Amino acid sequence: MLSRQKSTSQIGLFNAIEALIDQKHPLFRLANTINWRVFDDSFKKHYAEKTGKPAKPIRLMVSLLILKYLRNLSDENLVDQWSENIYFQYFSGAQMFQPAIPCVATELVAFRQRIGEEGMELILKESIRINKDDSKDKEEAIVSVDTTVQEKNITYPTDDKLYKKIIKKCWIIAYKEHIDLRQSYTHVIRKLSNQQRFKHTKNGAKAARKASKR
């Protein structure tokens, strides 16, 4: 069920988070720059109005996803640090410090599945709006992504699987052209592949190099 906004009329000046933090902190400034209503209006369609258990506030869940990627944290570490970090809590819309986790880590997984790819794109779109340069053309936005430490899907020329792919392609060509092969080298490839498995070991490196050359 869609959660309701809690009343903050009883919160005093001296126990409010905003009175305890540095208003020049990046998370404070970011929290007051993001248009949180966009997410409330877009994601409320995924919740029932009156039936079911009240869900966590949409702003809380969206802010947790943003913090996860800002600080490069796992779901488990994120919820643990949220209970200790007053800036995390202010960024998530909390009015008072809460020494408890905001949700269990699996709820973040469920929320990502709930909003789907469309919801994640909306979060990215809002981040682009905030970080884009002040240019004359407001419709254009450039995203600069540093992928230095990101795992790449690259096959190098020295990878053994390329050798096997070449041989398989030759088999396919021979089959299509009705060429009878004198030898398919199936058993030889299997034997050489077993030798290549140990190319990073001290005793198997030499044999693996010979197998790759063969």
Q: What is the pLDDT of residues 118-128, one digit of tens each?
A: 999 999 888 88
Query: pLDDT tens, 175-210?
Result: 999 999 888 888 888 888 888 888 778 888 888 888
Contact 33, 127 (CB under 8 A): no
* Rounded CA separation 131/143 (Å): 8
Tokens of 175: 């089959």
**Confidence band (pLDDT; 50, 70, 90) for 143?**
low
**Does residue 62 surpass a pLDDT of 90?**
yes
Query: pLDDT tens, 39-53?
Result: 999 998 888 887 888
Query: Domain boundaries in the chain?
Result: 17-131, 160-213
Global pTM reads 0.57
